[in-house]
């Protein structure tokens, strides 16, 4: 059975486009049921519509509180039959209530090797810190910004002549590979979210074998 996914965006939808392409093959275990943008001018809306995917605009500026905004998103997602959410450039912090409602079914991709360089301007942060490796992280969303359990990471080298833009371009290429791979691993049960941590059946078997042979 194909899992119905919702994608939340705020802008151009670069990772959305990759997720759309990933879900095209008939044997992929998920399909994008709905794309929600909190900005009416989000370019990703046109991208989704062109692919035949339903879209909705839920403008946070039209709601009196974050709770009302998030309640509207949840209601729209559930009415569409969505069972899992991917954030793809969604530029709004989510409350503890929303995260709890969708716990274990809400993931995001961040352009750094977390826990390093949380927040915005991650490529500038990396260059200022002088790190030799930078990259991206797919993680479960928690109530604290960029602090959820890590699902997967991809690293890229930082070159001596890098600018924030050149580094961003290279990291984005890694994002486009990592996000679909992590999503598929979750849906196929190769990765699970248990008690706030990421586990995999294979790693659990290895740990159990070690205990049995102790």
Show which residues are catalytic: 110
Spatial contact of 5 and 32, defined as CB atoms under 8 Å apart = yes
Q: Is 126 exposed, middle or buried (0-12, 13-18, 19+ CB in 10 A)?
A: buried
Other Cβ atoms less than 10 A from the Cβ of 39: the count is 19
Distance of CA 191 to the CA centre of its chain: 15
The token pair at 193 is 């979210």
β-strands 30-37, 3-9: how paired? parallel
* C-alpha–C-alpha distance, residues 147 and 122, integer Å: 15
Spatial contact of 141 and 87, defined as CB atoms under 8 Å apart = yes
């Amino acid at each position: 059975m194909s899992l119905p996914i919702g994608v939340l965006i705020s802008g151009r939808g670069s990772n959305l486009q990759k997720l759309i392409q990933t879900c095209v093959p008939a044997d992929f275990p998920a399909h994008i049921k709905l794309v929600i943008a909190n900005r009416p001018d989000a370019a990703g809306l046109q991208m989704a519509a062109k692919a035949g995917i339903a879209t909705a605009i839920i403008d946070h500026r039209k709601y009196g509180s974050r709770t009302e905004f998030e309640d509207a998103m949840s209601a729209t997602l559930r009415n569409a039959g969505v069972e899992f959410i991917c954030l793809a450039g969604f530029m709004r912090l989510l409350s503890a209530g929303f995260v709890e409602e969708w716990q274990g079914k809400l993931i995001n991709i961040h352009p750094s090797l977390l826990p390093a360089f949380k927040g915005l301007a991650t490529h500038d942060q990396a260059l200022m810190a002088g790190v030799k490796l930078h990259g991206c992280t797919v993680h479960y969303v928690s109530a604290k910004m960029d602090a959820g359990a890590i699902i997967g990471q991809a690293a890229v080298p930082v070159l001596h002549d890098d600018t924030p833009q050149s580094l961003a371009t290279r990291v984005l290429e890694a994002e486009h590979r990592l996000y679909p791979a992590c999503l598929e691993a979750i849906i196929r049960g190769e990765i699970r979210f248990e008690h706030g941590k990421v586990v995999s059946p294979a790693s659990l078997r290895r740990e159990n074998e070690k205990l049995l042979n102790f």
